[in-house]
Structure 1
């Protein structure tokens, strides 16, 4: 009797739960904008305060400032770009204009200077006092000072929180036009008393690290004799300014040294109509109160017709002895005698060019601004100068602790043509002395490698792809050491299935003073001495437990691990896909302490600089990525609670699926089910894939208008099963490999009575789009297919250009994702075999193609080839071409549009819903922009 009562009670609970689930509504396309995410979390240095944004997908964000125990100090509508002061006493942020006001201004095609402006907020964390300053153009905060500075319009609006009167807007608009020409108002706000110092006509400014000095540039308005153009220095403590360099012109790259005893900048002071305006390097010494030109145009120390570059980044080393800057050939004067409409316009492609013309044009702006690193010693009597880089060695790296005696320079000069088919180049690496100018070669033979400089500059470390090991080069002894050769595990991708060298797993971090480097294998972290190659499996248990363990330094601007520092290590079990934290001291020889694995995903933790307090997000497929604080990752405080509306909607679950392929491979995938899943029903299923996705088993999938992929939340909520299978590849057979893994996974799931085997669709984008196109030529097991940006003809795509980078497409077929492994002329049969175009007569599956006319990754004409072929064959095919859009849709309105069409298409073929007009009749060009064809045909 008791068992019977329990059974009845259980059935009652199930019915109540099912009724609650069934009462939930499915997601629809109106929900996107309100769905939220946590963005830009930060923690104060003392570990007492946190801030973060809650951002809807479209609309006004809100900034929250709280204690780590979740006490709300302030919430600010439209708060953005927030940070804490170094003393943890204030939070600084901008306040964006209302979204609706910005939208309205765009509709009215307002000029940039007429658009609504930001305000700035300063919150005193201990007292809760909030101050606001309107119409800010930018702000900067002294790293250690007790003030901030920002640029604003001359006569500010009262606050972006309030809507200004029309006459005020007109007045501001006029003043903005003037300020655009002659600078804006620099406002310096003291935190303690709120006092403001205003300086007009400022175009640029910089604050010293300690916050004692502010350099600013003034551009005097025309016919204003009371204001003098030049560069000024404001003493914050004294409240006084002095002119340190006068004259109209362009002043750039303002920089202080660490102690604010030296200052440098580049400037040109030529007449406005001068055809060439080379820059000079200027230097100011606070102790002697002197300003001077260090290096000028055509200085004898420079190459002929060279000068300091106006595009260079200036920086002092930590000790203030060295000043790094860039030099470059003088700008070529513009030929004013040429008439534009009488001048030929063409690109000349030359077979010996280092880079293809499209790549040169893509990088044109960067190349026009290219400059070559040099160093000068401004405090020495002779002002010692060394040109570190040149046209041969033009890619260099300064150690993070930049007082190192050497910089690292890497070059592929003379070896760039092969990038066309390899996708990379062989490189030589050198150490260049910043004292003697000596160039020390690191590798005698050009190598494919990733060269890095250790934080203190004591070692160069690199992974050699040919020898598949990590190497170090000591700057003191000039000896090369194989760091991993004696370790009996691979430090490169053990699952590599591309016809190219496997990628290394990478470096985690360095310990203090470059004593050791932490290097990843597939599962563990190894601690290796860079001189002796003595190694310790630092984590030791990863491979044993099939768990991947990784580490990221959690403190901003911390370059190495302290000698006695405790590390929190993130770990994911590769079998269960669950996540956990491990803890281990950097000096310990014991195994890490393990926290329990959980069915959640974590973000990288952020640590307070001066306290053992961390913030992070965690989530799973049913729980949004909320923000938490903790000191030990055991006890935690939830700080945010986003997307409470989710409980109103039919959500979904995720589970891991495994199966054997026809050739005996074990494969894995994710199956998503509606929250109200009923095993007694039959469900349509959409298969979505891209390489391997199963590590994301617990990833939160917010409903969002899609740039290209399947919106899993939308489909699962609306009664679909969604299956995401992993795919492994055989070289030369990318198409058959997709058949092997995807189709076998589908057949495995079809054995379940709740899968409607006649109502299965497939969706993929880019590489996935190619696989969709290939799969529908193999058999007719799919009722509908959606192929985004597919390659269907490898023979024509092989010689094309990736327009977003200007690179040839050859490398990806021979070495990377397309996985053919040979040239077109070596194995043409593989290109044809793997090209869906040649098998399109077999297609019986209705298919939609997305191919956009500004696609920079896959040639637009690939979609056209597929569409025109299927159209000629009389197959049901549609093509969506979003005008001016890229490989993945960027504009939100286009993302919303394709999301609607994608669900309509699959609803029609997999749920027998009415088809929309665009599918039944199309939309003629004469109706473009007026009729979108989204109405359903009854």
Structure 2
């Protein structure tokens, strides 16, 4: 009845932590942050004793941890938004984070308890732990001998830098307080990244080693040399490998894995800001084609999924994807691509998307280089739901693609995530779907946020993909919306890749999907001829024998590869 056990001191300790959520598993159908009981176990005898009961801790992972030497059990108490520690000898519980202010995620916007910013590790001999707030690193003493101290001296908050510990000795279970401390840095305003050096002891300010408009991987230290290996990237720069000293001096690129990129049009990206319908300042990403002409009128694609502005310097290799548009591919072909951040109000996920996306699109239109009659929108899963919702509220889009969308929250609430067997109730009551109530005490919210009930308002041509082995969103959700729009005489197409999951797994299907989605948007946003599968469809008896990708032009079929 204690299914999870971890032993201290890398498995050689005299104490172990066990945890069990068995008494509370029924709760997981509607509350993924269910309770657990914590146990102390003597590995030599197997004797155990329950030390904490009904703790609501952690989340999808382990609810608690054990310090390297086993002196303390520690956890994030979700209900109290505090780090707790239990002395394994005295069984006394202390609040590690007392007096530290907000250590939980400020951007948390689901109807659940917020997660912490994190824990950076334990010092040798369990003498202290490093905790994170939004920007800085704090040292806390579980024995209560000294008050919490900001290791980074408030430098992160002052300069809007998110500072986090980089573990250069992953084989060592604890942090040497005498050694230099490498910190990663991320500027939440500019999205620049880099590294600083600090020390656990002392009152020195973090020392800047490197900051650049790039994205860096976590450095790896050589076993027998003071050298670091890492990758760096931006939208135009492929993430090649670099080596450098421990202070990032003498940095040298040692790979050149993508020379062919120079032969292709690529594009640029910039950070944009606008004001939402709720008066909140938002950020997003705006991708423009190479040789951009501000006096021209471009077609634009809009893609979204939660928040993506922190990915300003992410490199997107042009390749078929499991579900969404490939940004680089579309930009290379002359599209502008807009990726807005979306914050949410509990109970109003659809309206929240509208309040963020539509003013964002209007802001881009005001810049003057996007054709207002050639705007497309695309999203998958949660983004697919929001796409379906948006086209019931606005006609600003000339074409839309909604992948694996929930269209009817009233039926989806009673469904099952087939891959895990979990009931879908928790999603609506406490997590991403953000309704914040049950079907019985918030029925109006389920209806108001369901695109199906407003399908008669849709005027935008819609392409959908929903596969019959989707383990996350039951594919009957796509069917409900498709047959409703078909009954209403709306322009709608639905693709089902037999045997495929929530996202396409087979390369051939990924390629096929990329081609069909391109044909769909090129037709509506660029005036390209429509393919056979859009004009006449592919009859069931022809499935697997013909793809219907030929373009219909002037009464004759023209093969897609001959365009």
TM-score, normalised to structure 1, is 0.57
Matches of 1:655 and 1:580, distance apart in 2: 19
Shift of 1:557: 1.9
Q: How does 1:16-415 map to 2 (within 5 A)?
A: 392-415=1-24
Greater C-alpha radius of gyration: 1
Q: Secondary structure of the residue that 1:443 maps to in structure 2?
A: strand
Aligned: 1:458 with 2:67: no
**Conservation of the 8 A alpha-carbon contact between 1:703 and 1:711:** yes
**Partners in 2 of 1:920 and 1:652 — Cα distance?**
33
Q: Does 1:517 align with 2:132?
A: no
Aligned to 2:171: 557
Residue 417 (1) aligns with residue 31 (2): no
Whether the 8 Å CA contact 1:402–1:456 is kept in 2: the answer is no
Q: Is the 8 A contact 1:626 1:642 kept in 2?
A: yes
Change (3 A) 1:585 1:878: same
SS in structure 1 opposite 2:305? coil
**Which residue in the other structure is 1:640 paired with?**
255
Gaps of 5+ in 2: 554-563
1:580-604, Cα deviation, whole Å (9 max, x unpaired): 2111123332111013521100000
Counterpart of 2:80 (choices 457, 467, 470) is 467
TM-aligned CA deviation for residue 436 of structure 1: 5.3
Q: In the alignment, which residue of structure 2 is the partner of 1:927?
A: 542
Tell me if the contact between 1:667 and 1:726 (Cα under 8 Å) persists in the aligned partners: yes
- The Cα of 1:438 is off from its aligned counterpart by 4.3
Could you tell me which residue of structure 2 aligns to residue 499 of structure 1? 111
Number of the residue aligned with 2:36 = 427
Aligned to 2:414: 799
Query: What SS does the aligned partner of 2:135 have?
Result: coil
- Please name the residue that 1:193 is paired with: none
SS at match of 1:812: helix
1:572 partnered with 2:221: no
In structure 2, the partner of 1:536 is: 149
Alpha carbons 2:466, 2:496 under 8 Å: kept: yes
In structure 2, C-alpha distance between the alignment counterparts of 1:528 and 1:769, rounded to whole Å: 43
C-alpha displacement of 1:634: 3.4
Q: Which residue of 2 aligns with 1:819?
A: 434
State the secondary structure of the residue aligned to 2:322.
coil
Match of 2:272 among 657, 666, 681: 657
> Given the alignment, which residue of 241, 250, 256 partners 1:627?
241
Q: CA deviation at 1:439?
A: 2.9
5+ unaligned residues in a row in structure 1: which ranges?
Answer: 1-391
Give secondary structure in 2 for the equivalent of 1:595: strand
1:936 aligns with 2:545: no
Residues 400 and 714 (structure 1), Cα distance of their counterparts in 2 relative to 1, 3 Å cut: farther
Asked if 2 retains the 8 angstrom alpha-carbon contact of 1:708 and 1:888, the reply is yes
1:645-691: CA deviation from partner (whole Å, max 9, x where unpaired): 11111101110000011221100000000112111211000000000
Over 3 Å counting, the alpha-carbon distance change for 1:913 and 1:445 in structure 2 is closer
Report the equivalent of 2:90. 477
Given that 2:15 and 2:40 are in contact with CA atoms closer than 8 Å, whether structure 1 keeps it comes out as yes
Residues in 1 aligned to 2:76 and 2:368: alpha-carbon distance in whole angstroms: 51
> Is it true that 1:508 corresponds to 2:120 in the alignment?
yes
Aligned residues of 2:167 and 2:182 also touching (Cα < 8 A): no
8 Å contact kept, 1:767–1:790: yes
Aligned mates of 1:476, 1:551 — CA distance in 2:
29
Aligned to 2:397: 782
Query: What does residue 321 of structure 2 align with?
Result: 706
Contact residue 36 and residue 56 of structure 2 kept, 8 A: yes
Question: Which deviates the most, 495-504 or 429-438?
Answer: 429-438
Matched, 1:667 2:282: yes
Q: 1:440 to 1:719 in 2, by over 3 A?
A: same
| Residue 441 (structure 1) aligns with | 50
Task: Name the CA distance, whole Å, in 1 between partners of 2:20 and 2:528.
Answer: 60
For residue 240 of structure 2, give the secondary structure of its aligned residue in structure 1.
strand
Match of 1:38 in 2: none
Would the aligned equivalents of 1:454 and 1:461 in 2 still touch at CA under 8 Å? yes
Change (3 A) 1:595 1:563: closer
Residues of 2 paired with 1:510 and 1:825: CA distance? Answer: 46
- 1:587 aligns with 201
Shift of residue 607, structure 1, vs aligned partner? 0.7
Q: For the residues of structure 1 that align with 2:203 and 2:92, how far apart are their CA atoms?
A: 28
| CA distance in structure 1 between the partners assigned to 2:148 and 2:363 by the alignment | 45
| DSSP 3-state at the match of 2:414 | coil
Does the 8 Å contact 1:458/1:476 carry over to 2? yes
Cα offset for 1:789?
A: 0.2
Give the secondary-structure state (helix, strand or coil) at the position aligned to 1:667.
strand
Q: CA deviation at 1:554?
A: 2.5
Q: Using the TM superposition, give the Cα deviation of residue 628 of structure 1 relative to its aligned residue in structure 2, in angstroms.
A: 0.4
2: CA distance, partners of 1:597 / 1:843: 47
Q: How does 1:657-806 map to 2 (within 5 A)?
A: 657-806=272-421
Over the aligned positions, Cα root-mean-square deviation in angstroms equals 1.3
